[in-house]
Structure 1
Amino acid sequence: MSTPRSWLASAQDSPFGVHNLPYGVFTADDQPGRRRIGVRIGDFVLDAGAAARAAGAPSVLLDADSLNPLMAAGRSVWTQVRADLTLWLTDEAYREALSPALLPVGEVELHLPFEVADYVDFYASEHHATNLGRIFRPGSDPLTPNWKHLPIGYHGRAGTVVVSGTPVVRPHGQRKAPADAVPSFGPTRRLDIEAEVGFVVGTPSRLGRPVVLDGFREHVFGVCLVNDWSARDIQAWEYVPLGPFLGKSFATSVSPWIVPLDALQHARVSPPERDVEPLAYLDDRGGEPWGLDLAMEVRLNGHLVSRPPFASMYWTAQQQLTHMTVNGASLRTGDLFASGTVSGPEPDTRGALIELTWNGEEPLKLPDGTTRTFLEGGDEVIITATAPGPDGTVVGFGEVTGRVEP
């Protein structure tokens, strides 16, 4: 069956067509201060609650000021709402009723689309982990002995997850270079980015009941882009023996649009071949693969500096969710877990400056003649991504943007 076409002209060849329909939260001048659920369609944002009322459908979940009530409702509701939106935006009979609910995307302000419950960040790219191992442990095995046996992660700080466009304040903390006798305190000198993909939990789980691999679709609502800002010098001094803390917890930016999991069926691919057999609870070889073919781009001050390939990730989001709950930890609506830095095998596919500049030893040369080892005041980073959709369409994720305050 071919993908239906929208009666909205700007949606017909758009990465935000009816094959996508990502969700967000916005405010607009027609109702100042009131946060509403919106659906991106072409060059417009559809006021989802107003559209439901105009179509004579239930609107309670779509009239909320965040996505959490809709996400908590579960997969059967997600499927029905998506079917309703598709019908309304493709059937000419709804054009007149829905047109007043369409607002130009440039005239709305986008907000954090969901209330973040918990935040977990993984370390799932073999290329990224290998590069960091070579930087910090030259002459030894770049991967730690556990890396190919379990998805390594850390528990982050949900309260500092911010929406794209939020300014990034350079964090302060303790720093100690190898040559320093004692640590010093001050602003980070090695502010970095991490280009990542995030997965948003909708349906919660019960404490003490792990989520098996087959439960991924029942619990994950959608996908977004993430920039996990990192203060590398603060991180290097504090992370032994318990791992990332203040070097990570000051800001994590997410894109304003949550792409439904159902919009990514045509992007699913098998993960790279693994040379270590996973334990049974992580063994995904007998089921449908949940690798995703996402093409990412990272721009620094407008210049393209990297194209990280998400399909190269060693551990999938499905395995990460299962591992995250295997000890009985429960899921909550609004949990966010991120992939970790996405990096590929080539230098121009690395998703963090620490790799792109080899820990500052090989400064990155920008087309305007300037160089960077790590971020400077005023620098702006934009991460974008697309995925293949049905019938040759493209699924757009929008962007996650952040500018470092001077």
Structure 2
Amino acid sequence: MTLMTSWVESANSADTDFPLNNLPYGVFDAGNGTMPRCGVAIGDQILDLCKAEGDGLIDLGGAPVFDVPYWNDLMDLGPEAWDSLRSQLLALLGADATPRPEYLVPQADVAMRMPIQVAEYTDFYASKNHAFNVGVLFRGAENALPPNWLSIPIGYNGRASSVVVSGTDVRRPWGQLKAPDEALPRFAPCQRFDLELELGAIVGQPSDGMVSVAEADRMIFGYVLLNDWSARDIQAWEYQPLGPFQAKATATSISPWIVTRAALEPFRTATPERERPLLPYLQEPGPMLYDIDLTIGLTPEGGEETVISRTNYATMYYSAAQQLCHHTISGCPMRVGDLLGSGTISGPTPDSLGALLEMTRGGQEPVSLTGGGSRSFLEDGDTLTLYGAARGDGYRVGFGACSGKVLPALDATQIPGA
């Protein structure tokens, strides 16, 4: 597919994340006394969907769905309504349509809010490269992958209450830490704070009972960039026997724009060859991954950004559809607004890893920064920014940025019992 042109001139540039091919969904706050509202990114502008629906330019055949500051009501209507909205937007914003600049708001003039009400949050561990690299650090190469890893999408239930939109500051957490040479743990601020580059899948339809991989794929409304902030030293002490808990509860940042499954359709690709067959219920009926380039940028306080990793979502071992299918096999109901984290996305080379834990080999080999300095783990004042885009012929379907700044831990006088 080639670039689709729009009467919004900025959408016709090869440099924009938001051409007509994309049309991602978000919630913006214009700061003029109106409530935050749903919008569609087009070039450097946002189409105000609340206003467009109110004036009859968008009609989904029922009660209004864009009079609220979240996309859950549209997701509730199901895939036919999702397709109808996209078709209407393509017609409204296409080059042959009547220009309607009065419905546009410059992105530079707004603040972005959470695009959905998150129902539940589950994070997976679905990159073989990441799982192997982390396993080597903790268990050695011969026991790097758990015995079940090649057969099952491994995950844990996280905190929906900790999911925040890009631009939200993240405070360094306190927790129990225990060094190998210490007899007992101590209560202190995290010293090994890390990021994890992930893609988040947003579940747009509920389930009641097990769904197939194909059905799960159709239930996915769209995707966001996701940073699973991780306190590695807290995690090392707490994770046995039940896995991550407080180490993953500080924050999970997501990008403000939801890139729809329809926009990503031209970029589908298959999961990699497998060492052993998956059980039949997990086998994919067709390509379920996407060819999406991903980048991590680290900017120290007062410094310039260093790109510390470039990778691609296509390296994953399990797709979001497989993860969602597996999530339902026990009868677990899925809800509109459920968020599934892919797990850290790491490629096969040292410059394509998705977490500092891997890049620095557990902190032993620091990453150099532009302008001097280095990082083993995140320092106060660091801003982490994730970028992602699928690339077509003369255009790209991008996510915008997903960023967060690390704030210092609370002073001990503010912590009970510290």
Same fold at TM > 0.5? yes
> Which is further off, 57-66 or 343-352?
57-66
RMSD: 1.4
> Which is further off, 148-157 or 83-92?
83-92
5 Å matches for 1:285-300?
287-300=285-298
Amino acid at match of 1:65: P
Q: Provide the residue aligned with 1:355 in structure 2.
A: 358
How far, CA to CA, are the matches of 2:45 and 2:3 in structure 1?
20
* 1:228-285, Cα deviation, whole Å (9 max, x unpaired): 000000001000000000000110000000001000011100111111100011011x
Amino acid at match of 1:362: E
In the TM superposition, what is the alpha-carbon distance from 1:364 to its structure 2 partner? 1.1
How far, CA to CA, are the matches of 2:239 and 2:217 in structure 1?
34
Q: Provide the residue aligned with 1:371 in structure 2.
A: 374
Amino acid at match of 1:151: P
- Whether the 8 Å contact between 2:4 and 2:19 is mirrored in structure 1 is no
In the TM superposition, what is the alpha-carbon distance from 1:92 to its structure 2 partner? 4.3
Amino acid at match of 1:215: E
Q: CA distance change for structure 1 residues 357 and 83 in 2, over 3 Å: closer, same or farther?
A: same
- Whether the 8 Å contact between 1:52 and 1:58 is mirrored in structure 2 is yes
Q: Helix, strand or coil for the counterpart of 1:354?
A: helix
Q: Helix, strand or coil for the counterpart of 1:143?
A: coil
Q: Provide the residue aligned with 1:50 in structure 2.
A: 51
Amino acid at match of 1:12: N
Q: Provide the residue aligned with 1:283 in structure 2.
A: 283
5 Å matches for 1:129-208?
129-138=131-140, 140-206=142-208
* 1:309-344, Cα deviation, whole Å (9 max, x unpaired): 211101111110101111111110110001000001
Q: Helix, strand or coil for the counterpart of 1:145?
A: coil
In the TM superposition, what is the alpha-carbon distance from 1:381 to its structure 2 partner? 0.4
Residue 83, structure 1, aligned to residue 87, structure 2:
yes
2:67 alignment partner, one of 57, 63, 70: 63
In the TM superposition, what is the alpha-carbon distance from 1:49 to its structure 2 partner? 1.9
In the TM superposition, what is the alpha-carbon distance from 1:61 to its structure 2 partner? 1.2
5 Å matches for 1:73-112?
73-90=77-94, 92-95=96-99, 98-112=100-114
Residue 241, structure 1, aligned to residue 241, structure 2:
yes
Q: Helix, strand or coil for the counterpart of 2:29?
A: strand
* 1:111-149, Cα deviation, whole Å (9 max, x unpaired): 010000000000000000000111111253210100000
Identity of aligned residues (%): 46
- Whether the 8 Å contact between 2:124 and 2:340 is mirrored in structure 1 is yes
How far, CA to CA, are the matches of 1:2 and 1:255 in structure 2?
25
How far, CA to CA, are the matches of 2:149 and 2:249 in structure 1?
23
Amino acid at match of 2:398: G
Q: Provide the residue aligned with 1:274 in structure 2.
A: 274
Amino acid at match of 2:348: P
Q: CA distance change for structure 1 residues 54 and 197 in 2, over 3 Å: closer, same or farther?
A: same
In the TM superposition, what is the alpha-carbon distance from 1:386 to its structure 2 partner? 0.4
- Whether the 8 Å contact between 1:37 and 1:64 is mirrored in structure 2 is yes
**Structure 1 alignment gaps of length 5 or more:** none
Q: Helix, strand or coil for the counterpart of 2:214?
A: helix
How far, CA to CA, are the matches of 1:296 and 1:107 in structure 2?
27
In the TM superposition, what is the alpha-carbon distance from 1:91 to its structure 2 partner? 5.4
How far, CA to CA, are the matches of 2:58 and 2:227 in structure 1?
37
Amino acid at match of 1:336: L
> Which is further off, 104-113 or 60-69?
60-69
In the TM superposition, what is the alpha-carbon distance from 1:388 to its structure 2 partner? 2.7
Residue 40, structure 1, aligned to residue 41, structure 2:
yes
* 1:57-82, Cα deviation, whole Å (9 max, x unpaired): 43711222111101111000000001
- Whether the 8 Å contact between 1:55 and 1:88 is mirrored in structure 2 is no
- Whether the 8 Å contact between 2:3 and 2:19 is mirrored in structure 1 is no
**Structure 2 alignment gaps of length 5 or more:** 300-304, 409-418
Amino acid at match of 2:249: S
* 1:138-176, Cα deviation, whole Å (9 max, x unpaired): 253210100000000000000010000100001111011
Q: TM-score normalised to the size of structure 1?
A: 0.95
In the TM superposition, what is the alpha-carbon distance from 1:225 to its structure 2 partner? 0.2
Q: CA distance change for structure 1 residues 296 and 93 in 2, over 3 Å: closer, same or farther?
A: closer
Amino acid at match of 1:401: S
How far, CA to CA, are the matches of 1:39 and 1:113 in structure 2?
11
How far, CA to CA, are the matches of 2:50 and 2:371 in structure 1?
46
In the TM superposition, what is the alpha-carbon distance from 1:52 to its structure 2 partner? 2.9
Q: CA distance change for structure 1 residues 310 and 93 in 2, over 3 Å: closer, same or farther?
A: closer
Amino acid at match of 2:386: I
Q: Provide the residue aligned with 1:403 in structure 2.
A: 405
How far, CA to CA, are the matches of 2:312 and 2:274 in structure 1?
17
- Whether the 8 Å contact between 1:55 and 1:94 is mirrored in structure 2 is no
Q: TM-score normalised to the size of structure 2?
A: 0.93
In the TM superposition, what is the alpha-carbon distance from 1:216 to its structure 2 partner? 2.4
Q: Helix, strand or coil for the counterpart of 2:398?
A: strand
1:20 alignment partner, one of 13, 19, 22: 22
Amino acid at match of 1:226: L
- Whether the 8 Å contact between 2:3 and 2:394 is mirrored in structure 1 is no
